[in-house]
Amino acid sequence: MLEKNAKIYVAGHRGLVGSAIWNNLKSRGYTNLVGRTHQELDLTDQVAVRQFFDEERPDAVVLAAAFVGGIMANSLYRADFIMQNMKMQCNVISESYAHGVKKLLFLGSTCIYPKNAPQPMKEDALLTSPLEYTNEEYAIAKIAGLKMCESYNLQYGTNYIAVMPTNLYGPNDNFHLENSHVMPAMMRKVYLAKLIHDDDWDAIRRDLDIRPVEGFNGSSQSEDILKVLAKYGISDNKVVLWGTGTPLREFLWSEDMADASVHVLLNVNFSDIIGIEKYSSVHYGASTDGAVDRNHSAGRGGALPQLGEIRNCHINVGTGKELTIRQLSELVVKAVGFTGTVEFDATKPDGTMRKLIDVSKLHSLGWTHKVEIEDGVRRLFDWYRQSL
């Protein structure tokens, strides 16, 4: 357990999950928190990251920063998705080790699993068959991150834990139409279609002033606004969504994810995940006087031979429940009070057809979710309206 005065660096503290983790830590009495915006610290800059760790020397690190987006963004920015995420992870994890960080929590994504993985997906499904093509680069980056944590633990005896959340949504979500995830994008489209039908141009312009679309904001001509919104399937009382509506998805409220993350950060060690009986007695080489040598491991360059093969030490974080994209759209329509039509464009990609995760490992470590999807959708729409 980290002391209440421990210095904790939350990378990505302004994001969907990072901000929720920050607030969760504060609510538990952890007030010595460190955060940097992207403008203050570019995590892809190795020299800048090293200088930051030299100055701050955190006791624990939460790596919640990432370059993220939905199907469209993943397709357009493939190089960015693998390179930006790999740079961030390599810099933060390597500097955490170099500066003696006691505990690190790495946040990944359940897109790490194969496209046709058996459902629900257990941690052991990792790397058993090909990935979904539309988010392959992001998935590979996140797999590399969790393997870094695993490998540092095995070689150096560190305590780096990787958690893999399912689809997240909640306060501070990204509602920008070009690169947002399915739920916030769907919610904004339905809301704007309702506003067009209501002829509420004050609200439309307020929305675009806060979140412009392809450079068009509230001061743009009405005709131009309608034209650019139509590109995203938004028109008078009608919304067109990508795909068939049949893929199944699992969603987790971001504040639940934060609570799970902090629970793991404070209460779960690497030894708990792989089996404390076999790990504690033989892990990273103890000297004859019982002192730990952080720079040597009996298995240097690979898993410890005494333990056999150690892999899939990450933890799935989710609800273990799913619904179709069409069912999700119905919940969004209800929350927004939309009376128009929602259509699905089957010529557009669906992505993975099913992505339900097995959360039995997480439950065995003492945590279960609290917010159900019906309540969460209403909460998200309330937050979105208040953000305008």
232 is catalytic: no
Are the C-beta atoms of residues 66 and 80 closer than 8 Å to each other? no
Concatenated DSSP letters of 187-223: HHHHHHHHHHHHT-HHHHHHHHHHS-BTTB-TTS-HH
Q: How far apart are CA 362 and CA 218, in angstroms?
A: 45
Cα(59)–Cα(316) distance, rounded to whole angstroms?
25
The CB-side HSE value for 310 (13 A sphere, CA atoms) comes to: 27
Q: Tokens 């939350």 identify what position? A: 10
CA 30 to chain centre: 22
Q: Dihedral sign, CA of 70, 71, 73, 78?
A: positive
Task: Judge whether 258 and 64 are in contact, CB under 8 Å.
Answer: no
Alpha-carbon span 115 to 134, nearest angstrom: 10
Neighbouring CB atoms inside 10 A of 263's CB total 18
Find all residues with CB under 8 Å of 340, minimum gap 6, and list them.
193, 194, 197, 236, 237, 238, 239
Q: State the Cα–Cα distance between residues 383 and 388, nearest whole angstrom.
A: 9
HSE of 179 in the Cβ direction (CA atoms, 13 Å)?
A: 14
Cα–Cα nearest to 74, from 142, 127, 144, 13: 142
The first and second tokens of residue 284, run together, are 């990273």
Active-site residue among 113, 138, 169, 191?
A: 138
Per-residue burial over 42-74, b if 16 or more Cβ lie within 10 Å, else e, is ebbeeeebeebbeeeebbbbbbbbbbbbbbbbb
Select from 67, 37, 66 the least CA-distant residue to 52: 37
Alpha helices in the chain (DSSP H): 16-27, 46-56, 71-76, 78-98, 136-156, 182-198, 201-210, 222-231, 254-267, 270-274, 276-280, 325-336, 360-364, 373-386
Q: Which are the catalytic amino acids? A: 138
